[in-house]
Homo-oligomer: A and B are copies of this chain.
C-alpha cells in the first residue's frame, strides 16, 4: 500500500504531490481553505472557507463542507484534473466536455494532502431492489393473487417493457407493475400506459371489442392520490415488500 501524506505543504510541494498522484492514478484527499467556482449546466460561486476536496483517478471531483450528504460542488467521472500555482494560490481545475463544464478550486492554505493507490474490492452486493421483488413474485406468484401465473418479464409493448406479464385464474391477461417502495400517482400512469398499449395490441388481433386487460400495482404502499387513480382505472394494488418481513 502506497500512501503519501503531507501536512501544511507549500503550494509548490502540494502541486508536486498532486501531479504525482494524478500520474499514479491515486485517490486524493485535500483539506484546506479555498474558494470554489463552477460553470457549466448551471453556475455557482462559493466564498472562502475550509473544505475537503476529493479527487478520483476516474475524473470525479467532490468538494465537501462539514454538512450534508451531497458535495457542495462536484464534477462527474470522466473529467480531467489539472493543478497549477497561480497568483499565490494552488488552483485545482476539473473540466469535461459534453456538456462543457469547469470546476475550479483555489486554495489559499493547504492543511493536509493525502494520496492513496487504491485497488480491488469494488463488488457491492445489494439486496431489497426491484429485481428482488420480481424474483420473489416469480417464485411465489400467489403473493400477487391466487391463481396468478406469470408468463413473461420485461414483455415488450408499444409503451415499453412491462415488469411482469401473466394471466389470472380466469385466464385474463394481467399487467403487473413493480415498485420497491411507496409510490405516488406517476406509477399508476406508467401502469395505465402498459395496459392501454396491451389492450390496443390485443384488440387489433381479435376485433372491435375492447379486450379485458387487468392492471396490478405491486408496492409496499401507495399515496392517497395514487389510490384514487388506481380506483378510477379499475386497477388493483397488492401490498408487498421486496424482501420478506423478518
Contacts and interface: CB of A to CB of B under 8 A. Distances in A.
A111 B116 contact: yes
A29 B68 contact: no
Given A1-B111, A3-B31, A50-B1, A77 B67 contact: yes
A189 B7 CA distance: 55
A75 B135 CA distance: 27
Contact of A48 (B42, B62, B65, B121): B121
A123 B72 CA distance: 10
A56 B67 contact: yes
A124 interface: yes
Interface residues of A toward B: which range? Answer: 35 or more
A196 interface: no
A7 B25 CA distance: 20
A130 to B, nearest CB: 10
Interface in A100-137: 109, 111-112, 114, 116-129
A219 B179 CA distance: 29
Given A5-B114, A42-B126, A49-B118, 6 more contacts: A5-B112, A46-B125, A50-B116, A58-B67, A60-B69, A65-B118
6 contacts: A3-B31, A44-B124, A49-B120, A50-B116, A54-B54, A114-B114
